[in-house]
Structure 1
């Protein structure tokens, strides 16, 4: 049975789900559910609270909210609204761009030790040396107790997840679809293994949400913010990995890159530029 605090939290969660289903934009939702202490001071005009202005809208959309919550619970997905006490503090660095709601499957406790999280990113088509390095570094760092975070993609991401798992360590995959989907589909077994091994799958998207380019870039901001440090294995100068790097710079996360092992691969040009410009330190 839920205690009074738990019941209140679930009621707020359902209100949030209902208003999102009714079409309220994320920034409006963020403002509505701020604690009273976090809101700007207002004149005491005895006007209804912001949320009370939406009661009719909430009541109309409440069945949809209850259905979504039930579907998530049925498949073991935890919903984590931004006003929850265990919402990752690292994501508050995003300000108004932080997710209103996170969907999580696995060990949420991994998010409560942010200093231990190492983000490992890179191209989907690395050189054999890059692939081996992603696996080796993830293995070594996981053995030291660090949590390895990546994006479940082909190439460097998958190698990092596998390296952590083979060290019997923990790994977090931040994905750009609903948690009932796998992108790429070939990594379904990897996704299942991450969860079974005490890791965590994390998304900001509802069930049945497909992948698209915008969501992949948006996912990159979460990878950057959740990482205590970011390591670039291999990336081209125009690689999507550079989105994660730019987000890491915005959120003041330390950035590292592997020095290029050859001068003739386009997939290493991004590393070269990052190191020469001083935007990243050599790993």
Structure 2
């Protein structure tokens, strides 16, 4: 229904016995739903779209999960802007709480590519699922490394599962599925990739994970969306410190890394759109000896952490 999004669905699902109740009865208590139903033919068209989505999912061997389903990813469930419905192709990780989002620029430096491989390999060896966005650059390297190491990886897409974008990663998407991983989208079949979808896709990556490793980014990089979301969700953000070679070359793709490693609290909080107190969960990774420390960072169970955050509120 036009005008009914995740927030409205969360409201509707709180209605007693809403699965069995007549939609008109529910609408009497929810003005937004009532307004949507007042449009001639809207409910009929909505049901037709439902049947289309279900048939496409069945033909594509995909599942449609809602937050009410027990196998909906646990960490994602407890984010305040969790997608109410997700489309899943493939297999989710057996221990979804052991998930890390590894993201970064589409144009990493040589060191950025190497660090992506090393950190991904480390997490795979420790049986963590690697979450990324199937974009070129760091995302692609993370997925490829996970597949090569026979680890589990999830690609979060900014469009419907009827296609793969970029097209150059179609083979990689197939390899992810063949290796026991999954493709996930909150957008139905037929949905195209538009700019707003990529921002939400990046937040969903952070929502699926205990924390985010942001390999490299400039000051305006798209990777900052997931980085901000990680801190807003009360989770951790790990950022590798650039090599001396990259620093001397003043590589544009390390500028966010340099800022995060600085002592400029105000600028860091401004770029990450967070309170200064949230920066306690920003961690700079100096070398591979720091990798084990990342795994020991705050773990989430049941939507709460030692910080006292409860994402059900």
TM-score (norm 1): 0.81
**1:269 lines up with 2:255 in the alignment:** yes
Task: Report Cα offsets for 1:50-96 as digits up to 9, x if no partner.
Answer: 49976x9645632331222011111111101222222223223332x
**1:140–1:167 contact (8 Å) kept in structure 2:** no
Partners of 1:230 and 1:61 lie apart in 2 by 36
Partners of 2:15 and 2:70 lie apart in 1 by 12
**1:83 lines up with 2:104 in the alignment:** no
**1:93 lines up with 2:73 in the alignment:** no
- Out of 175, 186, 210, the residue aligned to residue 204 of structure 1 is 186
**1:105 lines up with 2:89 in the alignment:** yes
Distance 1:36 1:90, change over 3 A: farther
User: What is the DSSP-based 3-state SS (H/G/I as helix, E as strand, rest coil) of the residue aligned with 1:94?
Assistant: coil
Partners of 1:63 and 1:225 lie apart in 2 by 31
**1:171 lines up with 2:158 in the alignment:** no
Distance 1:243 1:63, change over 3 A: closer
Aligned to 2:5: 25
**1:114–1:228 contact (8 Å) kept in structure 2:** no
**1:236–1:266 contact (8 Å) kept in structure 2:** yes
- Out of 105, 117, 128, the residue aligned to residue 135 of structure 1 is 117
Cα RMSD of the aligned pairs, angstroms, is 2.5
User: What is the DSSP-based 3-state SS (H/G/I as helix, E as strand, rest coil) of the residue aligned with 2:257?
Assistant: helix
Distance 1:35 1:227, change over 3 A: farther
Equivalent residues in 2 for 1:119-130, closer than 5 Å: 119-130=101-112
Aligned to 2:283: 281
Structure (1/2) with the larger helix percentage:
1
Partners of 1:226 and 1:153 lie apart in 2 by 17
Distance 1:57 1:257, change over 3 A: same
Aligned to 1:16: none
Aligned to 1:11: none
Aligned to 2:164: 182
Q: How far has the Cα of 1:185 moved from its partner?
A: 0.8
Gaps of 5+ in 1: 1-19, 38-46
Task: Report Cα offsets for 1:168-204 as digits up to 9, x if no partner.
Answer: 1110111101111111110000001001100010000
Q: How far has the Cα of 1:113 moved from its partner?
A: 2.4
Partners of 1:204 and 1:162 lie apart in 2 by 23
Gaps of 5+ in 2: 18-23, 266-278, 286-313
User: What is the DSSP-based 3-state SS (H/G/I as helix, E as strand, rest coil) of the residue aligned with 1:282?
Assistant: strand
